[in-house]
């Protein structure tokens, strides 16, 4: 968590995490209606980093076939 003055993306996010949202407060109240004391709480919502290969088992074969199919359809990986 960070203070309201900090940029949450700089404060907490790891090198492999992607910040997709910043939540302020705890209960979704905006404006002056928050009397809980949690109104200054700042929390970022992050996606975890990617998983590097090898995945193990048959997952590598599935990933290879999916990548091949996507390339045939014109997607760049």
In a domain, 65, yes or no: yes
In a domain, 48, yes or no: yes
In a domain, 3, yes or no: no
Yes or no: say if 41 and 25 are a contact pair by the CB < 8 Å rule. Answer: yes
DSSP secondary structure of the chain: -B-TTS-HHHHT--TT-EEEEEEESSSS--TT---SS-TT-EEEEEEPPPPPSP--TTHHHHHHHHHHHHHHTT---
How do residues 11-39 score in pLDDT, each as one tens digit?
Answer: 555 667 888 888 887 766 666 666 666 76
How do residues 52-75 score in pLDDT, each as one tens digit?
Answer: 888 989 999 999 999 999 999 999
In a domain, 2, yes or no: no
In a domain, 1, yes or no: no
Provide the whole-model pTM: 0.43
Q: Which domain holds residue 56?
A: 8-72
In a domain, 49, yes or no: yes
Number of domains composing the chain: 1
């Amino acid at each position: 968590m960070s203070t309201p003055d900090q940029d949450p993306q700089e404060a907490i996010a790891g090198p492999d995490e992607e910040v997709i949202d910043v939540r302020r407060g705890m209960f979704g109240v905006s404006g002056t209606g928050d009397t809980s004391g949690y109104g200054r709480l700042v929390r970022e919502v992050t996606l975890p980093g990617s998983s590097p290969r090898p995945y193990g088992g048959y997952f590598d074969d599935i990933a290879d076939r999916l990548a091949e199919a996507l390339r045939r359809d014109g997607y760049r990986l």
